[in-house]
């Protein structure tokens, strides 16, 4: 049965429906990213400007997906457009080192506390893969500890503990130890019992961009235990880097890991990734005079598009704006206004739930009555399951798109969002909640 929300979605998006009919004979599920699957069909976008984007049917959408978290300046920021346009005229790949990559690397060193050395990639997946490998080369050990549902990209090791495990050798998965977060005694026991742990990697605000938060005190505990056992601590700052604060979650919480993976905001909206950290660990890539070392112990690393000039042009421009203008402060203020708006709305409508999140990330949780500090909202797994109810979330996604809001139960704010964009999103959410109530979903 088609719900009124779905029917309205179908009516508002005929052009997207038409494209999807073609796309599903080209791409599995009709899409090019698991996260863009949407029933009955996804939207097809044409262009973006600032906080807004448009779909093929001419609908204007306030964007809270924000390039999967890579845009904090807004779409087509004029400085980024100018830098990339200029670089395009000069060449997009000169098969050579460049001034741009030096500046880009220096900015990472200046902003991210652990970044003594840097190596660029094209994505966050590559950055976490390289981080794990460097830690293994550095320590001479094999195992990596990760936490339940923490996402580190789609490479074989990162996939452990997740779903979609087809094609992964069990030998590969057996090198990963997956633990529940927030219990330091389990971490210490795993390190002791195994004796072959090279590194521990985590999303430093919690799984799925902080959707399942960790206790902030857990970070300090991890730092202490990993240091004591000589285990490399990797913060996956692909989302939190340049967002949770200018220096990432490590600066925000004052806990410096040994390494950090970066991507998203790093690339200014173009593909880009980096692993950074202690010189001794990142230098496992460095060649030496010892042929035996170079062959068997050095970490080899190529990559056609590492530090490519277009990404470097966009990335240096974005990081310069992050470093010298109140980009984070504005995005954070917008998120704070949104959280307040949502929490007021929920009280007014007497709907159980809350809006929480750190810095410029807002999570809307419905269906659970509870207390939290509206920043780090830790719920029981049972309550999380209620809040994450798939049927409700699906209707919420479509309902918000019908109102010209691309979000879901997660909203990422940008400096480009105006207060009006926030207020419009809150009001639109109120209308969707009324519809959800009509469907018995809240």
Binding site for ligand PMP (CB under 6 A): 68, 123-125, 128, 151-153, 203, 209, 236, 238-239, 263, 273
By beta-carbon proximity to ligand PMP, the closer residue of 67 and 430 is 67
**Closest distance between ligand PMP and the C-beta of residue 347, in Å?**
31
Which is closer to ligand PMP, CB of 260 or CB of 432?
Answer: 260
What is the C-alpha R_g of the chain?
Answer: 22
Least Cβ distance, residue 343 to ligand PMP (angstroms)? 26
For 159, the enclosing helix (H) or strand (E) is none
User: Least distance in Å: CB of 30 to ligand PMP?
Assistant: 19
> Is the Cβ of residue 129 or residue 330 nearer to ligand PMP in the bound state?
129
| Whether the bond into 297 is cis, omega within 30 of 0 | no
Residue closest to ligand PMP, measured at CB: 124
* Cβ 199 to ligand PMP shortest distance, Å: 15
**C-alpha separations of 426 from 68, 74, 367, 373, 387 in Å:** 21, 19, 17, 20, 18
Least distance between ligand PMP and beta carbon 272 (Å):
8
User: How far is residue 267's CA from residue 276's CA, in Å, rounded to a whole number?
Assistant: 15
Q: How far apart are the first and last CA of the chain?
A: 19
**What's phi and psi for 201, nearest 5 deg?**
-120, 140
Residue 69 has, within 13 A of its CA and on its CB side, a CA count of 23
Q: Which is nearer to ligand PMP, 143 or 152 (CB)?
A: 152
Residue placing its CB nearer to ligand PMP in the complex, 237 or 435 = 237
CB of 207 to ligand PMP, least distance (A): 9
In angstroms, what is the minimal distance from the CB of 231 to ligand PMP?
20
Is the distance from CB of 275 to CB of 259 less than 8 angstroms? yes
Q: Which is nearer to ligand PMP, 30 or 271 (CB)?
A: 271
Note whether 44 and 55 are within 8 A (CB).
yes
User: What does the alpha-carbon distance between residue 14 and residue 278 come to, in Å, rounded to a whole number?
Assistant: 52
CA distance 95 to 73: 29
Find the length of the chain: 442
Do 319 and 104 contact (CB within 8 A), yes or no?
Answer: yes
Give min distance, CB of 33 to ligand PMP, in A. Answer: 8
Separation CA 177–CA 108 (nearest Å) = 30
Q: Which sign does the torsion angle of CA 412, 416, 418, 419 carry? A: positive
Q: Which is nearer to ligand PMP, 370 or 410 (CB)?
A: 410
Please identify, using beta-carbon distances, which residue of 17 and 118 lies nearer to ligand PMP.
Answer: 118
């Amino acid at each position: 049965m088609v719900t009124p929300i779905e029917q309205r979605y179908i009516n508002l998006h005929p052009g997207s429906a038409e494209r999807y009919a073609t796309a599903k004979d080209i791409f599995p599920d009709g899409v090019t990213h698991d996260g863009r699957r949407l029933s009955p069909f996804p939207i097809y976008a044409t262009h973006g400007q600032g906080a807004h984007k448009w779909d093929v049917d001419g609908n204007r959408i306030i964007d809270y997906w924000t390039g999967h978290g890579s845009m904090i300046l807004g779409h087509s920021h004029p400085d980024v457009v100018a830098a990339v346009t200029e670089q395009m005229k000069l060449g997009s790949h000169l098969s050579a080192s460049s001034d741009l990559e030096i500046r880009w690397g220096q900015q990472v060193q200046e902003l991210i506390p652990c970044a003594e050395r840097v190596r660029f990639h094209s994505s966050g997946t590559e950055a976490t893969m390289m981080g794990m490998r460097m830690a293994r080369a550095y320590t001479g050990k094999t195992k990596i500890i990760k936490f339940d549902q923490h996402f580190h990209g789609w490479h074989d090791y990162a996939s452990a503990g997740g779903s979609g495990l087809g094609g992964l050798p069990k030998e590969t998965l057996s090198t990963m130890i997956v633990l529940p977060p927030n219990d330091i005694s389990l971490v210490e026991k795993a390190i002791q019992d195994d004796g072959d742990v090279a590194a521990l990697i985590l999303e430093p605000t919690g799984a799925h961009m902080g959707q399942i938060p960790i206790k902030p005190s857990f970070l300090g505990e991890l730092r202490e235990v990993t240091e004591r056992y000589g285990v490399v601590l990797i913060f996956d700052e692909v989302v939190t880097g340049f967002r949770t604060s200018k220096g990432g979650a490590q600066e925000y919480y004052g806990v410096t890991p040994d390494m950090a993976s970066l991507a998203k905001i790093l690339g200014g909206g173009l593909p880009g990734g980096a692993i950074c950290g202690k010189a001794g660990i990142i230098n496992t890539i460095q060649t030496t005079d010892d042929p035996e070392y170079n062959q068997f112990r050095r970490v080899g690393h190529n990559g056609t598009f590492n530090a490519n000039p277009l990404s470097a042009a966009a990335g240096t421009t974005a990081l310069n704006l992050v470093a010298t203008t109140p980009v984070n402060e504005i995005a954070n203020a917008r998120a704070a206004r949104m959280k307040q708006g949502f929490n007021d709305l929920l009280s007014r409508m007497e709907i159980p739930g809350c809006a929480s999140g750190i810095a410029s990330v807002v999570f809307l949780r419905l269906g659970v009555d509870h207390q939290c500090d509206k920043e780090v909202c830790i719920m029981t797994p049972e309550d999380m399951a209620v809040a994450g109810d798939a049927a409700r979330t699906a209707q919420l996604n479509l309902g918000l798109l019908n109102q010209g809001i691309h979000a879901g139960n997660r909203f990422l704010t940008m400096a480009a969002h105006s207060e009006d964009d926030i207020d419009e999103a809150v009001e639109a959410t109120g209308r969707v909640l009324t519809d959800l109530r009509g469907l018995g979903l809240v």
